Amino acid sequence: MAHEANATDAAPTTEITADVVVLGGGPVGENAAQYATEGTDLSAVIIEGELLGGECSYYACIPSKALLRPTSVAGAAAHLDGVGDPEIDRDALLARRDTWVSNYDDSGQVQWAEGAGIHVVRGHGRLVGEREVLVEPADGQDGSGPTLVHAERAVVLATGSEARIPEPLQALAPWTSRDVTGVREVPGQLLIVGGGVVAVEAATWMAALGSEVTMLVRGDGLLSGYEPFAGEHMLEALGNLGVTVELGTSVVSGERADARRTGLGRLHGGAVTLQVEDADGRRDVTGDEVLAATGRSPRLSSVGLEAIGLTADDVTAAAKPTSDDAAETALPDWLHAVGDASGEAPLTHWGKYRARVIGQRIRAGATGEALEPVPDAVPVPQVVFTEPQVTSAGLTEAQAREQGIDVVTARVPFGGAAGSAVLRDDVTGTAQLVVDASTRQLVGATFVGPDASEMIHSATIAIVGKVPVHVLRHAVPSFPTASELWLQLLEELPREMRAG
């Protein structure tokens, strides 16, 4: 177990020793600590300077889905004969969000950690030497002084990521993803800079809350990285919500009166004027608030890497989705990075998976237990919780071809099966499989449609299990369910590929 001992006046007030020290108390850090120690007498410490439970629990996944689900249900109801035209209750929707983020109170997460035998230290932690982390209490946190934490076996960097704010927006005190999920004051006109997942999800619920939303997208489509048809469906869906999407538009500069941080989800000053540039030249766009939805970067600048002779680039270059001896060669054997901090896919479920792999690796190193085998290729499933939902696993057709894979695709309308068509009276969307022509195995799948998120795990299983498509044809879907789309997709493949 971790133990405490008083230090001299010249040293930190408190010293703690534990087998595993995790910087960052989000779901990924919690998983790393749990899997590194469960079933053993190993001890773990989690260091967290904000809310235990991290970005996902309070400012990202959970609040965004709490806001999006009612809008999705209302949208579906409005397109089902016999239901009527439901209305969004703004105050009730925001109250639902507050319930799901526990009113920004992490006592439940602390109780879980303590129940799992994990010691929580509050404050900002940074490396000060090999296996040593100095924790300084954050402003407003109790604590008589710094704490020095010694790691007997491993230090895990699970510090997450932070919003990237383009230079033209930096002086404007823009909203970030935290503000838009924590919205308190709904702007009459909201400008969103970006066209990725955060941008399209935020545009969806802010339009439902009554904002007039304008998206300024530098690229020529939405949701880059997905199949092109996903962005096309999203563009149509946002247009139906009254969202204005301006593609091929870059922000050059901006002005704002009294720009300042005023509190989570509150307007951060006066009206915003952005000068933007597109194919027709430069012009001004105005709004009451601007959201910077332009990506995230690993939060590594203040974790003390320089104290052990490393850089952030060393950390992100070391992350590999395998557990073999070649993994993490750029880092000392006691240091691991996981989740957003590793530079891998910034998705909670992926970070938690990688934390399980790394945690088990740490545990095996301490106990001598055999390492669990990890498949050669594990796909990263992704979901955009808009209406329609966009979900994918594995490679897009373009990505597969870039890797030199000879692929065959199968594509059908999402409403092409009775079970999917009955979800709404006007189902739109597309389903596609990407199959390796030589192995006849699935390498990628994309579903765009109502509740498409419930379709993607079967694709993930097929890819991980390397199930040939002629075998998948014998996986019988229930009627009438959306899963019938699988049979339609498989029937679209060449006969010789699905014949076995």
For residue 4, the number of C-alpha atoms closer than 13 Å in the C-beta half-sphere is: 10
Q: Please give the domain boundaries of the chain with CATH numbers for all domains.
A: 3-53+106-162+297-367 (3.50.50.60), 165-294 (3.50.50.60), 382-498 (3.30.390.30)
CA dihedral 431, 437, 440, 445 (to 10 degrees): -20
Q: Find the angle CA(187)-CA(192)-CA(194) to the nearest 5 degrees.
A: 165
Q: Is the peptide bond before 388 cis (omega within 30 degrees of 0)?
A: yes
pLDDT for 249 beyond 60: yes
| Measured distance CA(44)–CA(32) in Å, rounded | 9
Question: Which tens digits make up the pLDDT trace of 7-49?
Answer: 434 457 789 999 999 999 999 999 999 999 999 999 999 999 9
Average pLDDT of the residues in 293-303: 96
For residue 414, the number of C-alpha atoms closer than 13 Å in the C-beta half-sphere is: 27
pLDDT of the residue at 499: 78
Tokens coding 68: 């999006």
| Measured distance CA(267)–CA(405) in Å, rounded | 49
Contact (Cβ atoms closer than 8 angstroms) between residue 173 and residue 259: yes
Among 465, 469, 443, 447, smallest CA distance to 456 is for 447
pLDDT of the residue at 140: 55
- Residue 298: which pLDDT band, with cuts at 50, 70 and 90? very high
DSSP output for 57-123: HHHSHHHHHHHHHHHHHHHHHTTSTTT------HHHHHHHHHHHTGGG--HHHHHHHHHTTEEEEES
Residue with tokens 């079967």: 458
Q: Which residues contact 363 (CB under 8 A, 6 or more apart)?
A: 35, 36, 37, 38, 39, 40, 42, 369
Question: Which tens digits make up the pLDDT trace of 191-213?
Answer: 999 999 999 999 999 999 999 99
pLDDT of the residue at 215: 98
| Measured distance CA(341)–CA(213) in Å, rounded | 31
Average pLDDT of the chain to the nearest whole number = 93
- Stated pTM of the model: 0.93
| Measured distance CA(51)–CA(27) in Å, rounded | 11
pLDDT of the residue at 382: 97
Contact (Cβ atoms closer than 8 angstroms) between residue 22 and residue 33: yes
Contact (Cβ atoms closer than 8 angstroms) between residue 182 and residue 265: yes
Question: Which tens digits make up the pLDDT trace of 79-129?
Answer: 888 887 888 999 999 999 999 999 999 999 999 999 999 999 999 999 999
Question: Where are the strands (E) in 158-211, listed by range?
Answer: 161-163, 189-193
Question: Which tens digits make up the pLDDT trace of 477-497?
Answer: 999 999 999 999 999 999 888
pLDDT of the residue at 321: 46
Residues facing 226 on adjacent strands: 224
